[in-house]
Structure formats: C-alpha cells, structure tokens
A = this chain, B = another copy of it.
Amino acid sequence: MIDLLSTRTRYIESSELAEIVSKIESLVNRGYRVIPFAVGEPDPSAIPIKELSKILADILAENPSSILYTPTEGIEDLRKEIANFIYRYDGYRVDYDNIIVTSGATLAIDLILRLFIDPGDIVIVENPSYINTIHALKSYGAKIIGVKMDSRGMDTYALEEILRSMDSNRVKLVYTMPLGQNPTGISMDLDRRRHLLELASQYNFIIVEDTAYNYLVLDNIYIPSLKSMDRERRVISVGTLSKVMGTGFRVGWTVLEEPIKSMAISIKQTVDFCAPAISQYLALEFLRRGLIDISIDRSRSIYRAKRDVLIEAVNTYISEAIYVKPIAGMFIMLHLPGIDGIKFAKELIEKYHVALLPGKPFYIDNSGRESIRICFARPSIEDIEIGIRYIADLYRSYISRS
C-alpha cells in the first residue's frame, strides 16, 4: 500500500514528543504516581461534573432524537447560546447563523486551513506556537514563518519587517493565540493587537484568532479580543469549551460569513458530518443554565492560586529561570540556561516521575532548546511545589555536570 500514498503524506513527520509522551503514558498505565505538568487539560475539580452527569442522563431520556445526527453546522439553540456567550466573554455581537459548531476547535482550525491554504502558501505564527496547528499547517504544505514573542506577545514590529521584506501577497494568514498562549502563557497587549490589525489591513491577510484560553483570565485585567476590534472582517475567530467544560467532549466553533460559511459547511459534512450530538446537547444546557459561569469563576480562582504557587516556587528554587508570568491560561514556559529541554524532560520523567514537555517542538526554527513547557492546571498545589523542587534538583545536577 505504501506505494499508493499521496504526496501530501510526505509532510507527516514523526513527532519529537512521541518518545516522551510514551514514557509518561507507560508510567501512568503501570500505576505510578506522576506529577502531570505535560498535557494542557483542565482540573476536573474546577468543572461541575455532578451537574453534567445529571444533564447527560436527562438528555437521552427526554429526547430520544438526541442519539441522531444534528445539522452539520450544529444545533440551532446551541449556536444561539454560543452567540450569547461570545457577546458576554469575547465582547462582540454575532448572528448565531454565522456560528458553525465543530468537533473541537481542532476541527475548526483544520476546516479553515482546508478552505484557505494551498501548498506553498505562507502562514505566519508566533514562535513558538501551538504544536497541533503547526502540524496541521505542515500537513497542508504551508510554508510556516515564526515571529518572535516578548512579554507583550507577538512582536508585530518583527512581523512588519518580515512582511516588508517579502512578496506580501503570498502571506495568506497569521495564526495567533493572543491570550494565555499555548505554550508560553503570554498574552498580546492592546497596542500589539491594534498594530496586528493594521498590518492585516495593509498587507491583506487573514488573522485566525484562537481564543482557547480567553475564558481563563487569571488577573483582574481586560484585553479585548482581536475579533471585537476587527473593523474589516479580517479576523476569523476559533473557540472551544474544552478548557472550561472538558477537553473530551469536542465542542468548538468558528464564526464565518457567507459565502465562506456555506463552503465550510460543505467540507465539514465530509469530515465530521456533525459535532457529537450528545456533547452539543450537554453544551447547550451547560451554557443555558449558567454552569459555564460557575466553571469559569472556579477555574480562574483555582488556576490563579496554582500559578502563584508555581511562580513563587520557581523564584525560590530556580533563580536562573527566565519566564513571562502568565496573566491568562494554564501554561508557562521556563527557559533554563544550559539545558537541552528534550533530554531534560526525558530524565525528569524517568528519575522524578514529573511529566512535562520540552519547548523545542513548539518552535518553528531550531530554537527553544533550553525551554520547557509547564501546564499548571492539573497538579495539586502540593504537587506543583514538589514538581518545581524536582525540576530544580535536576537542573542543579545539569549545571554541575556541564
């Protein structure tokens, strides 16, 4: 069969993360206690699981048709609730008819890339960026350019230089996760957002705004979403309930206008047919009954406390660490001068049973060697402190070896 594979299949690379992830899974499956800094998943205790469980039982009992297909674009009532949610949390009004409910934000991003990307098209992302989007871009044969970040988010002045120096017509889109970015935890400030929108207008590209962590703002700040600042309809917003309802339900969305919306629905039908019905009905009640607000409030306060403990432990035990303190989301990236992050992560899981990911696979170029990504949502406060001390221990032994 291998002789029959498509040329696009050549874009598939084996992930540098596979070995580390398999080490982690193998320990967990064998019943070892592992400190979980690796996967970007919510703390189940932040989510009202009992209520979800009750709703789930009622859905099928009250509506036998909920075992059947929904419209490809999603259940109408859910799309209305999402429109309302977007207004309250992302700060812009949207007609529910422009919302397409997808099998997670992952599928929304895939759909957008299918609609817009030809092999060889240039796509700009933050460097580092969300690894799943990087892989998706590669699978579509996009030429990916990374723009460096600082504590204020994507360096839009560096982006401007890139745009100036090249045939700008060839840049199709800029993908950004501007709040609590995965993997760095960095948020883009207001000036940078304005500048990015100006550049989109000047150089005619689309901005894909991934709002996965918009609902996990940890400090008392407000930064408007890019989409809410978008006067030229250049921003395509992609959202998800994964981080506040549960990653396993696969309920995401995107907002598209005609004629692109209809094209997206046509393609979507051949990919997922519809987002899972049971998850859609659950999401509908989660939003309608205000459980989402409870979940968001609880998540913010839990993750804020965890972040604060983490930062204090890092400052106490690893004074050499360079990082940006996250004001949103569930990630932080530590730069530990002198380490090889991939080797470091392997040794850390083997010797200390602390699971985290190296930063390098999230970078477009070959940088990020000295970085590690920590998700602080899952482990307990106690385990965060212990985990950081283990990381500090391993780091000390690294430094003394070199």
Seen from chain A, the residues whose Cβ lies within 8 Å of a Cβ on chain B are 1-9, 12-15, 25, 39, 41-42, 44-45, 47, 49-50, 52-54, 56-61, 64-71, 103-104, 106-107, 109-110, 114-118, 121, 132-133, 135-136, 139, 172-173, 204-206, 233-234, 245-250, 259-260, 262-263, 266-267, 269-279, 282
Once A56-B56, A249-B276, A276-B278 are accepted as A-B contacts, the answer to whether A266 and B15 lie under 8 Å apart by CB is yes
B47 near A53: Cβ-Cβ < 8 Å: no
Asked whether A271 lies within 8 Å of B110 as measured between CB atoms, the reply is yes
Number of identical protomers: 2
A110 proximity list for chain B (CB < 8 A): 270-271
Closest 6 CB pairs of A and B: A248-B277, A67-B246, A57-B57, A136-B270, A276-B276, A44-B64
Check B270–A233 contact: CB distance below 8 A. no
Most buried by B among A118, A234, A246: A246
B248→A66 contact, CB < 8 A: yes
A41 touches B60 (CB 8 A): no
Question: Which one of A1, A116, A132, A282 has the highest number of Cβ atoms from chain B below 10 Å of its Cβ?
Answer: A1
Chain B neighbourhood of A15, CB < 8 A:
266
Chain B residues within 8 Å of A250, by CB: 103, 272-277
State the CA gap A14–B60 with chains docked (Å): 33
Contact across chains for A4 and B273 when beta carbons are under 8 A apart:
no
Select from chain B the residue with minimum beta-carbon distance to A272. Answer: B103
Which of B106, B117, B275 touches A271 (beta carbons < 8 Å)? B106
Q: Are B61 and A278 in contact (CB under 8 A)?
A: no
Q: Does A67 lie within 8 Å of B39, measured CB to CB?
A: no
Give min CB distance, A40 to chain B, whole Å: 9
5 further contact pairs, Cβ within 8 A, besides A106-B269, A110-B270: A4-B206, A14-B266, A44-B64, A250-B277, A278-B278
Known contacts: A60-B52, A115-B5, A277-B248. The answer to whether A12 contacts B266 by CB under 8 A is yes
Q: Tell whether, in the assembled complex, residue B6 and residue A173 are in contact, meaning their CB atoms are under 8 Å apart.
A: no
- Inter-chain contact A6/B121, CB cutoff 8 Å: yes
Of the candidates A44, A67, A109, A269, the one having the most CB atoms from chain B within 10 angstroms of its own CB is A67
Q: Contact: A103 with B103, CB < 8 Å?
A: yes
Contact call A7/B103, Cβ cutoff below 8 A: no
A391 to chain B, nearest CB (A): 24
Q: Is the CB of B56 within 8 A of A278?
A: yes
In the complex, which residue of chain B has the Cβ closest to the Cβ of A137? Answer: B270
Which residues of chain B have C-beta atoms less than 8 A from A233's C-beta? 1
CB contacts (< 8 Å) of A58 on chain B: these are 53
Q: Is the CB of B67 within 8 A of A52?
A: yes
- Residue from B2, B57, B278 in contact with A260 in the complex, judged by beta carbons closer than 8 Å: B2
